[in-house]
Amino acid sequence: MFGSMFKGIFGDKNEEAPRVLEKIDQLKIGDMLDMSDSFGLPKSIREQSFEVKSIDSYYYDERPETEWELLSADKKPVFVSMDSEDNDTEACFSLQLKRKDVEAILGWDRLVSVLDAAEGADIELKPSEQYDGWLADTYHCVEFNNRASYLDGDHRGKNTAPGNREEFRYSKFVSQDETKSFEIERWSKNEIDVFVAVLRPVSDIKDFWPKS
């Protein structure tokens, strides 16, 4: 009885304090976030709520980058990573394109010819109502067939040996105003993943909180 009384007064020392999220990069699986109503956001993610489904790790020139996979209420995945430059951090939201979508906005043969060229070239995309707000008309190449690697899971703050990662080739094309990008990952067995991305202020993420 007295034990229960003192426990009620002073609390259980073994109880963990509730998590408090102060920065976006503290998100863990199961956490939630709400997007703002900014018209700079693509319509498909504007004012939407998302749950963190998974967290993975990428390495570009041995520079680690964490990527969160987000799921909306309709279970459509969106990826987000943090882009930091000159002490300024922005959120990079991206969508993975299906082959038929690449065919519609660029052409699959054109994509392969770009990757097989000796150096990166400019690309032009056709408009798409489905990807409204995600696409620019033209992009110029800023990275071409560079080596990168991937490791499943959240490895923030850990030292990971390169031999444990899966390697791939990475190419990145950006719009003239540098707010949109078209990114290609070429894996072993010539598997190709294609993404379109938008760079937005972190403030476009209106709110975020830990899972209950």
| pLDDT tens sequence across 147-190 | 999 999 998 888 777 778 999 999 999 999 999 999 999 999 88
Lowest mean pLDDT among 31-35, 46-50, 58-62: 58-62
C-alpha to C-alpha distance for 96 and 123, rounded to whole angstroms: 18
- The pLDDT tens digits of the residues spanning 66-120 come to 999 999 988 899 999 998 876 788 999 999 999 999 999 999 999 999 999 999 9
* pLDDT exceeds cutoff 50 at 137: yes
Cβ-proximal residues to 89 (8 Å cutoff; 6+ apart), any chain: 82, 83, 202
- Identify which of 198, 206, 207, 211 has the alpha carbon closest to the alpha carbon of residue 40: 198
Length of the chain: 212
Q: How far apart, in Å, are the Cα atoms of 70 and each of 5, 47, 48, 165, 183?
A: 43, 14, 11, 23, 19
* pLDDT exceeds cutoff 90 at 2: no
In the chain, the largest separation of any two C-alpha atoms, in whole Å, equals: 78
Other Cβ atoms less than 10 A from the Cβ of 91: the count is 20
- Identify which of 102, 176, 190, 197 has the alpha carbon closest to the alpha carbon of residue 145: 190
Half-sphere exposure of 197 (CA within 13 A, CB side): 23
The reply to whether the predicted model has a pTM over 0.95 is no
